[in-house]
Amino acid sequence: MEAGIVGLPNVGKSTLFNALTAAGIPSENYPFCTIEPNVGAVSVPDPRLARIHKHIETDRILPAVLKLVDIAGIVKGASEGEGLGNKFLSHIRDVDAILHTVRCFEDEDVTHVDGSIDPIRDIEIIDMELMLADMATVDTAISKAQRLVKSGDKETKARLASLEKCKAHLDQEKPLRGLDLDEEEQRLLKSYGLLTAKPVLYIANVDEDAILEDNDHVQVVKARAKDEGGEVVKVCAKLESELAELDAEDRNELLESVGLDEPALDLLARAAYELLGLQSYFTAGEIEIRAWTIPVGATGPQAAGVIHSDFERGFIRVEVFSLEDLEAHKTEKAIREAGKLRVEGKNYIVQDGDICHFLFNV
Ligand code: GDP
C-alpha cells in the first residue's frame, strides 16, 4: 500500500512526513526506504500482533507498512512544468491513495504562498493542477486510441470510450474520483495512473489549540470532504514531530497533556486502510510474526502473492486459524487437535485477522 502526500508549499507536508517516518522502521526489511529520501515507511499499528505474540514465541514482530511518498513541488502551474511540477506529478502515478495536506493553522512566521489561509482555495489549486495533468494524459491517450481504433479490436474501442467519458468529466473541471466507472472501465484506465481518480484523504494540519476543538478552517475542510464522500484526519504536524522524538513513556505523557489518546499516525493508518478497502492477515512462526495487507475480498492465492509472487503461482492450500482460536487453545498443536485448524483452497476468501500458513509448489 502506497500513499502520496500532496499539498501546497508550507502547509506542513515535510514536517508530517518526517514525523511519521521517524518512528524508525528497520529499513533492511523495507529496501525502498533507503533508495529515495522522499520515500518512507510507517508501520500500521495493530494490537493483534502483541496478542499473537503472547502465545507464539518469535524473533521479530513486523507490522504492516504504509509506504509514504512526499510529493513536494506542486504549485499553481505545476502541470505545465512550473517548479519542476511535472516531474513530481509523475511520482504520484503509482500511488494507491492521495493524502492531501491542507493548512488549517495560522502562523504569521510561516508564509503562505497565496498570502492567506484559505483551505478551500488551496484544495482547488491542487485539484486543478492534478486535473490539468489528467487532461493532458487523457488527450494524448485519446489521440493514440483514435489512430488505433480503425484497425483495432473491441478492447481499443472500449478504452477510447472510457477515455472520452473521463475527458467529458474533466472538461467540466471535476476530479475523476467523482465519476462512476464500472470495473471494466477501471481496468482499461488503470495503466494511465490518472491522478484525480485516486481516492483522497484530507489531512487538516492544525496548531495545538485546535487539536481538540475544530477551528473554522477544519470545519470547512470537513464540509468539503463530506460533499465528496471523503474523509478528513486532523493532525498537528508540529506536535507529531515532537512526539516522534520521544520514548514511549514521554510520548504518552505529552499526548495526555494535550488530551489525545493516540498519535495521529494510528488514526491516519486506520483511515487509509478504510479508504482503500484494506485489511490484514498474519503469518506467525519462530522467525517472525508479521501482518500483511490485502484488499477486502482477496482469495488465498492473492493473499499469498503479497508475500511473494511465486507463492501465488504455486499456491496449493492454506491452513488457517483465528486469533480467538489461538487465545482459546494457546498453541497451534492444540488448535489442530481441537479440529479448529481449517484447510482452505484456491477460492477461500481470506478474512481480516486470519492467521495463515501457506503451502505451495515452487
Ligand atoms: P511543506 O512545504 O508543506 O513541506 O511544509 P513544511 O513541513 O516544510 O512546513 C513549513 C513551515 O510550517 C515549517 O516552518 C513548519 O515548522 C511549519 N509548520 C508545520 N506544521 C505546523 C503546525 O501545525 N503549526 C505551525 N504553527 N507551524 C507548522
For atom 20 of ligand 1, the residue with the nearest CA is 12
Q: Tell me how far apart the alpha carbons of residues 137 and 142 are, in angstroms, rounded to a whole number.
A: 9
**90 a known binding residue?**
no
Q: Report the separation in Å between the CA atom of 103 and the middle of ligand 1, taken as the mean of its atom positions.
A: 9
User: What are the domain boundaries of the chain?
Assistant: 2-46+64-141+189-275, 297-360
Any ligand 1 atom below 6 A from CB of 208 = no
Residue 7 Cα: closest atom of ligand 1: 3
Q: 15 among the known binding-site residues?
A: yes
Ligand 1 pocket, residue 15 CB under 6 Å? yes
Reference 267, options 112, 5, 45, 14; nearest CA is 45
Residue 11 is assigned to a ligand binding site: yes
Exposure of 298 in the CB half-sphere (CA atoms within 13 A): 23
Quote the pLDDT of residue 83: 47
pLDDT (tens place) for every residue of the chain, 362 residues total? 889 999 998 899 989 988 888 755 555 555 555 556 678 888 888 999 999 999 999 999 999 888 888 887 677 776 665 544 566 677 788 888 999 999 999 887 887 777 788 999 999 999 998 999 899 999 999 999 999 888 778 899 999 999 999 999 999 999 999 999 999 999 999 999 999 999 999 999 999 999 999 999 999 999 999 988 888 999 999 999 999 889 889 999 999 999 998 888 888 888 888 888 899 999 999 999 999 999 999 999 999 999 998 999 999 999 999 999 999 999 999 999 999 999 999 999 999 999 999 999 87
282 pocket-lining for ligand 1 (C-beta < 6 Å): no
Amino acid 101: pLDDT: 95
Closest C-alpha to ligand 1, atom 25? 207
The residue among 188, 194, 195, 268 whose CA lies nearest residue 234 is 268
- Nearest CA owner, ligand 1 atom 6: 12
C-alpha 246 – ligand 1 centre gap (Å):
20
Distance of alpha carbon 9 from alpha carbon 32, whole angstroms? 25
List the beta bridge partners of residue 358: 318
Same CATH fold assignment for domains 2-46+64-141+189-275 and 297-360? no
State the distance from the centre of ligand 1 to the C-alpha of 154, rounded, in angstroms.
51
Lookup: cell for 60: 521479530
Query: What is the pLDDT at residue 88?
Result: 65
DSSP summary character for residue 350: P
- Smallest CA-to-CA distance from 23 within 68, 53, 72 is with 68
The verdict on whether residue 27 carries a ligand-binding annotation is: no
Cα 210 to Cα 213: distance, rounded to the nearest angstrom: 5
- pLDDT at position 248 is 87
Q: What CATH architecture does domain 297-360 belong to?
A: Roll (3.10)
Q: Is 12 in the pocket of ligand 1 (CB under 6 A)?
A: yes
pTM score, whole prediction: 0.84
331 marked as binding residue: no
Tell me if 159 CB under 6 Å of ligand 1.
Answer: no
Decide whether any atom of ligand 1 lies within 6 Å of the 207 Cβ.
yes
Q: Which atom of ligand 1 is nearest to the CA of 9?
A: 2
If we measure between CA atoms, which residue out of 74, 275, 117, 270 comes closest to residue 204? Answer: 117
ipTM, 2 dp: 0.92
Residues 6+ apart with CB under 8 A from 219: none
**How far is the C-alpha of 327 from the C-alpha of 40, rounded, in Å?**
34
Rounded Cα distance between 96 and 296, Å, is: 15
Neighbouring-strand partners of residue 65: 43
Q: Is 305 annotated as a binding residue?
A: no
How far does the centroid of ligand 1 lie from the alpha carbon of residue 108, in Å?
11
Q: Which fold has domain 2-46+64-141+189-275?
A: Rossmann fold (3.40.50)
Q: In the prediction, which pLDDT does 79 show?
A: 66
